[in-house]
Chains A and B, each alone.
Chain A
Amino acid sequence: MALKASELKVGDTYTERVVEDLKRTQIVQYAGTSGDYNPLHTDEIFTTKVAGYPSVFAHGMLTMGMTGKMLTNYVGDGRLTKYGVRFTSQVWPGDTLDATATVEAIRKEGKQSFVDLVVTTVNQNGVEVLKGSATARVD
């Protein structure tokens, strides 16, 4: 399952559709498991009338979590050593997200090989909602 340094090259990409037509219920699910019950994510009345947004929106960490699924599917279980992101645009109910990892470098530290990845997630309009990087141990 794990990637092999000898089979990777700079510029390789891996893409997964991590959610299609994001449901409000999934945002509620994430609030429940993460413990972040900010009403901005689940309470339409608060979010539209008090906070002034057009509707509830996803936790940034839900987008990061869904993007993380693409990463672990690509690099294998227990292989990530670093994963960091910036949230560049909000994610709304109904959004469809595609997450992509692009190989930036393949390098060695001692005997261990690593792959450095650029990570981006875009919505159905091609707008980037998350940008970041990750590093994983490879064989």
Chain B
Amino acid sequence: MTVKRFPIEASHIMMFARSVGDDNQIYYDADYAKKTEPGTIIAPPTFVQASAQFDPDYFLRPKIGQPWFGSGKEPTGIKRQAGGGGGGGGGGLHAEQHYEYHRQVKVGDVLTATVKPGKTWEKEGKRSGKLVFSESITEYRDQKGELVVTARGVGVRTERVVEQK
């Protein structure tokens, strides 16, 4: 995943904060935000994940005119496209996510996201058979090329569905 242009917009932040159940005024009220330490509307800590919205090829979004593996009235039998680590899909799940904030993401920023593959490793799991982990590092940079957030995601593909306890 590479995102050439991830504009940080107030309405997107407002909706994202609502979706994680966060009613902090700093995420939707510009006048209130002015009086806070950051001095402006900032993004919640996990917001950069929403850069997927600006990735034209993101594999977990239905695309116009293309087959989608989710069901209609019944399952479609369409197999999901292969996709990189990070979030889940098919037999894949999101195992870990780590962020390092070099500065706050603010409304008006226009970020880019560049992804580099990291390590891969295997483990035998009690509840799901062989586990294959793969790591990816995403660098979010601002309009000046300065590093804003470094993200490290780990995805895991399981041999079988995770057994429920």
A40–B161 alpha-carbon span in the complex (Å): 12
CB–CB B24/A77 < 8 A: yes
Whole-angstrom distance from the CB of A130 to the nearest CB of chain B?
10
Interface string of A39-70 (1 = CB under 8 A from B): 11011011001111110000111101110110
Choice from A49, A64, A81, A82 contacting B75 with Cβ under 8 Å? A49
Chain B 147-161 interface residues, beta-carbon cutoff 8 Å to A: 152, 161
CB–CB A34/B94 < 8 A: no
Question: Closest residue to B33 on the A side, CB-wise?
Answer: A77
Whole-angstrom distance from the CB of A88 to the nearest CB of chain B?
9
A42–B61 alpha-carbon span in the complex (Å): 13
A14 contacts partner chain B, Cβ-Cβ < 8 Å: no
Interface string of B76-103 (1 = CB under 8 A from A): 0000000000011110011111111100
Question: Closest residue to A78 on the B side, CB-wise?
Answer: B38
CB–CB B19/A32 < 8 A: yes
CB–CB A40/B88 < 8 A: yes
CB–CB B42/A30 < 8 A: no
CB–CB A69/B37 < 8 A: no
B7 contacts partner chain A, Cβ-Cβ < 8 Å: no
**Residues in chain A within 8 A of chain B (CB atoms):** 1-2, 18-19, 26, 29-30, 32-40, 42-43, 45-46, 49-54, 59-62, 64-66, 68-69, 71-73, 76-78, 80-87, 90, 127, 132
- Nearest 3 CB-CB pairings of A with B: A84-B98, A65-B20, A39-B70
List 17 A-B residue pairs with CB atoms under 8 Å apart, sorted by A's residue number: A32-B19, A33-B12, A34-B16, A34-B49, A36-B60, A39-B71, A45-B74, A46-B69, A51-B161, A65-B44, A78-B104, A84-B97, A85-B97, A86-B95, A86-B96, A90-B162, A127-B165
